Chain A
Protein backbone atom coordinates (compact mmCIF):
# COMPACT_ATOMS: atom_id res chain seq x y z
CA UNK A 1 0.00 0.00 0.00
CA UNK A 2 0.85 3.66 0.00
CA UNK A 3 3.95 4.40 2.07
CA UNK A 4 5.33 7.71 3.16
CA UNK A 5 9.01 7.79 4.09
CA UNK A 6 10.31 10.50 6.38
CA UNK A 7 13.91 11.46 7.15
CA UNK A 8 15.84 11.96 9.29
CA UNK A 9 14.52 9.87 12.16
CA UNK A 10 16.28 12.05 14.73
CA UNK A 11 17.70 15.57 14.68
CA UNK A 12 19.59 17.26 17.49
CA UNK A 13 20.22 20.98 17.11
CA UNK A 14 21.46 23.86 19.21
CA UNK A 15 18.90 26.53 19.90
CA UNK A 16 19.04 29.04 17.06
CA UNK A 17 20.05 26.53 14.39
CA UNK A 18 17.77 25.62 11.53
CA UNK A 19 15.99 22.28 11.09
CA UNK A 20 14.52 20.46 8.11
CA UNK A 21 12.57 17.22 7.80
CA UNK A 22 11.75 15.55 4.50
CA UNK A 23 8.84 13.41 3.42
CA UNK A 24 8.91 11.22 0.30
CA UNK A 25 6.42 9.01 -1.49
CA UNK A 26 6.87 6.62 -4.39
CA UNK A 27 3.48 7.65 -5.76
CA UNK A 28 1.84 11.01 -6.33
CA UNK A 29 0.15 12.49 -3.28
CA UNK A 30 -3.10 14.39 -3.72
CA UNK A 31 -2.51 16.29 -0.51
CA UNK A 32 -0.29 16.14 2.53
CA UNK A 33 -0.76 17.22 6.11
CA UNK A 34 1.86 17.99 8.76
CA UNK A 35 1.40 17.34 12.46
CA UNK A 36 3.49 18.03 15.58
CA UNK A 37 3.44 15.75 18.59
CA UNK A 38 5.00 16.98 21.81
CA UNK A 39 6.50 14.36 24.15
CA UNK A 40 3.61 12.61 25.88
CA UNK A 41 1.08 14.48 23.79
CA UNK A 42 -1.10 13.90 20.78
CA UNK A 43 -0.60 14.92 17.14
CA UNK A 44 -1.62 18.52 16.48
CA UNK A 45 -2.39 19.69 12.96
CA UNK A 46 0.02 22.25 11.54
CA UNK A 47 -0.84 22.67 7.88
CA UNK A 48 -2.15 21.07 4.70
CA UNK A 49 -0.56 21.31 1.24
CA UNK A 50 -2.59 20.57 -1.88
CA UNK A 51 -1.04 22.26 -4.91
CA UNK A 52 2.07 21.28 -6.81
CA UNK A 53 5.00 23.48 -5.78
CA UNK A 54 3.01 25.03 -2.95
CA UNK A 55 4.93 26.91 -0.25
CA UNK A 56 3.28 27.99 2.98
CA UNK A 57 4.78 29.83 5.93
CA UNK A 58 3.79 29.98 9.57
CA UNK A 59 6.14 32.35 11.41
CA UNK A 60 9.44 30.43 11.53
CA UNK A 61 8.02 27.33 9.81
CA UNK A 62 8.11 26.90 6.02
CA UNK A 63 6.28 24.03 4.33
CA UNK A 64 6.85 22.96 0.73
CA UNK A 65 5.12 20.52 -1.60
CA UNK A 66 7.22 19.23 -4.47
CA UNK A 67 6.47 19.97 -8.09
CA UNK A 68 5.73 16.31 -8.76
CA UNK A 69 3.72 16.04 -5.53
CA UNK A 70 5.87 13.15 -4.38
CA UNK A 71 7.77 14.95 -1.65
CA UNK A 72 7.34 17.60 0.97
CA UNK A 73 9.49 19.35 3.53
CA UNK A 74 9.18 21.30 6.74
CA UNK A 75 11.88 23.84 7.58
CA UNK A 76 12.18 25.63 10.90
CA UNK A 77 14.35 28.73 11.06
CA UNK A 78 16.21 29.58 14.27
CA UNK A 79 14.84 26.77 16.41
CA UNK A 80 13.61 27.40 19.93
CA UNK A 81 13.19 24.97 22.82
CA UNK A 82 9.44 25.15 22.27
CA UNK A 83 9.96 23.45 18.88
CA UNK A 84 10.88 20.18 20.59
CA UNK A 85 8.72 17.25 19.53
CA UNK A 86 8.09 14.81 16.72
CA UNK A 87 7.06 16.13 13.34
CA UNK A 88 4.96 13.88 11.12
CA UNK A 89 3.89 14.19 7.54
CA UNK A 90 0.78 12.30 6.51
CA UNK A 91 -0.78 11.41 3.20
CA UNK A 92 -4.35 12.63 3.53
CA UNK A 93 -5.63 11.92 0.04
CA UNK A 94 -5.86 8.15 -0.10
CA UNK A 95 -9.59 8.06 0.60
CA UNK A 96 -12.55 10.41 0.27
CA UNK A 97 -12.97 10.57 4.03
CA UNK A 98 -9.42 11.56 4.93
CA UNK A 99 -7.75 8.46 6.34
CA UNK A 100 -4.18 9.46 7.20
CA UNK A 101 -1.08 7.46 6.31
CA UNK A 102 1.70 8.81 8.49
CA UNK A 103 5.44 8.87 7.97
CA UNK A 104 7.67 7.57 10.74
CA UNK A 105 8.25 11.06 12.07
CA UNK A 106 11.34 13.12 12.85
CA UNK A 107 12.17 13.60 16.52
CA UNK A 108 13.59 17.08 17.09
CA UNK A 109 15.66 17.85 20.15
CA UNK A 110 16.76 21.43 20.78
CA UNK A 111 19.63 22.06 23.16
CA UNK A 112 19.54 25.46 24.91
Chain B
Protein backbone atom coordinates (compact mmCIF):
# COMPACT_ATOMS: atom_id res chain seq x y z
CA UNK B 1 0.00 0.00 0.00
CA UNK B 2 0.96 3.60 -0.37
CA UNK B 3 0.62 4.65 3.24
CA UNK B 4 1.06 3.48 6.81
CA UNK B 5 -1.53 0.87 7.67
CA UNK B 6 -2.75 0.16 11.19
CA UNK B 7 -5.08 -2.53 12.46
CA UNK B 8 -7.51 -2.87 13.97
CA UNK B 9 -9.05 0.61 13.52
CA UNK B 10 -11.09 0.13 16.66
CA UNK B 11 -10.52 -2.14 19.62
CA UNK B 12 -12.72 -2.55 22.66
CA UNK B 13 -11.37 -4.58 25.55
CA UNK B 14 -12.30 -5.23 29.13
CA UNK B 15 -10.04 -4.00 31.86
CA UNK B 16 -7.34 -6.57 32.52
CA UNK B 17 -7.27 -8.03 29.03
CA UNK B 18 -4.20 -7.97 26.80
CA UNK B 19 -4.32 -6.23 23.42
CA UNK B 20 -2.05 -6.16 20.37
CA UNK B 21 -1.99 -3.33 17.86
CA UNK B 22 -0.36 -3.70 14.47
CA UNK B 23 1.47 -1.20 12.28
CA UNK B 24 2.53 -1.75 8.69
CA UNK B 25 4.85 1.13 7.74
CA UNK B 26 5.51 2.38 4.24
CA UNK B 27 7.64 -0.20 2.46
CA UNK B 28 11.34 0.42 2.92
CA UNK B 29 10.96 2.95 5.71
CA UNK B 30 13.73 2.55 8.24
CA UNK B 31 12.29 4.52 11.14
CA UNK B 32 9.07 3.67 12.94
CA UNK B 33 7.45 5.59 15.79
CA UNK B 34 4.51 4.88 18.10
CA UNK B 35 2.54 7.71 19.67
CA UNK B 36 -0.39 7.78 22.07
CA UNK B 37 -3.05 10.44 21.56
CA UNK B 38 -5.55 11.07 24.34
CA UNK B 39 -8.81 12.79 23.49
CA UNK B 40 -8.26 16.48 22.80
CA UNK B 41 -4.48 16.26 23.16
CA UNK B 42 -1.49 16.15 20.88
CA UNK B 43 0.20 12.81 20.19
CA UNK B 44 2.76 11.76 22.80
CA UNK B 45 5.83 9.74 21.91
CA UNK B 46 5.97 6.15 23.09
CA UNK B 47 8.83 4.40 21.32
CA UNK B 48 11.13 4.43 18.29
CA UNK B 49 12.57 1.69 16.07
CA UNK B 50 15.39 1.91 13.57
CA UNK B 51 14.87 -1.19 11.48
CA UNK B 52 14.45 -3.98 14.07
CA UNK B 53 16.29 -2.18 16.86
CA UNK B 54 14.25 -0.41 19.51
CA UNK B 55 16.46 2.60 20.19
CA UNK B 56 14.16 4.65 22.39
CA UNK B 57 11.40 3.39 24.64
CA UNK B 58 11.46 6.30 27.04
CA UNK B 59 7.81 7.17 26.40
CA UNK B 60 6.29 3.83 27.31
CA UNK B 61 4.15 4.61 30.37
CA UNK B 62 4.71 1.35 32.22
CA UNK B 63 6.13 -2.14 31.89
CA UNK B 64 2.69 -3.25 30.71
CA UNK B 65 3.54 -1.69 27.35
CA UNK B 66 5.78 -3.63 25.01
CA UNK B 67 6.65 -3.04 21.35
CA UNK B 68 8.55 -5.08 18.80
CA UNK B 69 9.56 -4.97 15.15
CA UNK B 70 11.34 -8.31 14.69
CA UNK B 71 12.03 -8.15 10.96
CA UNK B 72 12.37 -4.40 10.61
CA UNK B 73 9.04 -3.90 8.89
CA UNK B 74 5.75 -4.63 10.68
CA UNK B 75 5.57 -3.53 14.30
CA UNK B 76 3.29 -4.62 17.12
CA UNK B 77 2.46 -2.64 20.24
CA UNK B 78 1.22 -4.86 23.04
CA UNK B 79 -0.49 -3.71 26.19
CA UNK B 80 -0.89 -6.20 28.99
CA UNK B 81 -3.50 -6.09 31.75
CA UNK B 82 -5.15 -3.06 30.20
CA UNK B 83 -6.48 -0.27 32.41
CA UNK B 84 -9.01 2.45 31.69
CA UNK B 85 -6.32 5.10 31.39
CA UNK B 86 -4.93 3.19 28.40
CA UNK B 87 -7.96 4.31 26.37
CA UNK B 88 -6.60 6.48 23.57
CA UNK B 89 -5.76 6.50 19.89
CA UNK B 90 -2.45 4.79 19.16
CA UNK B 91 -0.69 6.23 16.12
CA UNK B 92 2.13 4.74 14.16
CA UNK B 93 4.41 6.83 11.93
CA UNK B 94 7.36 6.07 9.68
CA UNK B 95 10.14 7.90 7.86
CA UNK B 96 12.45 6.68 5.10
CA UNK B 97 15.75 7.19 6.90
CA UNK B 98 17.20 6.94 10.36
CA UNK B 99 18.42 10.53 10.50
CA UNK B 100 14.88 11.69 10.83
CA UNK B 101 15.08 15.08 12.46
CA UNK B 102 14.54 16.83 9.14
CA UNK B 103 11.96 14.47 7.72
CA UNK B 104 8.17 14.61 7.80
CA UNK B 105 6.56 11.67 9.53
CA UNK B 106 3.91 9.66 7.71
CA UNK B 107 1.13 8.66 10.07
CA UNK B 108 -1.35 5.82 9.92
CA UNK B 109 -5.02 6.29 10.77
CA UNK B 110 -4.45 4.91 14.24
CA UNK B 111 -6.14 2.36 16.45
CA UNK B 112 -8.80 3.73 18.78
CA UNK B 113 -8.57 1.65 21.95
CA UNK B 114 -11.42 1.72 24.46
CA UNK B 115 -11.06 -0.06 27.78
CA UNK B 116 -14.30 -0.85 29.56
Q: Residues on A close to B: CB < 8 A?
A: 6, 30-31, 33, 41-45, 48, 50, 88, 90, 92-93, 95-105
Residues A95 and B101 in contact in the complex (CB < 8 Å), given A43-B43, A101-B45: yes
Chain B residues 9 to 40 lying within 8 A of chain A, measured CB to CB, are 31, 33, 35
User: Min CB distance, B5 to chain A, in Å?
Assistant: 11
The reply to whether A41 and B109 contact each other, CB–CB distance below 8 Å, is: yes
Residues A98 and B95 in contact in the complex (CB < 8 Å), given A88-B42, A103-B42: yes
User: Min CB distance, B20 to chain A, in Å?
Assistant: 20
The reply to whether A99 and B56 contact each other, CB–CB distance below 8 Å, is: yes
- How far is B44's CA from A99's CA once the two chains are assembled, in angstroms? 10
Q: Chain A binding site: helix, strand, loop or mixed by DSSP?
A: loop
User: A95: which of B43, B56, B91 is its contact (CB, 8 Å)?
Assistant: B56
User: Min CB distance, B101 to chain A, in Å?
Assistant: 4
The reply to whether B45 and A98 contact each other, CB–CB distance below 8 Å, is: no
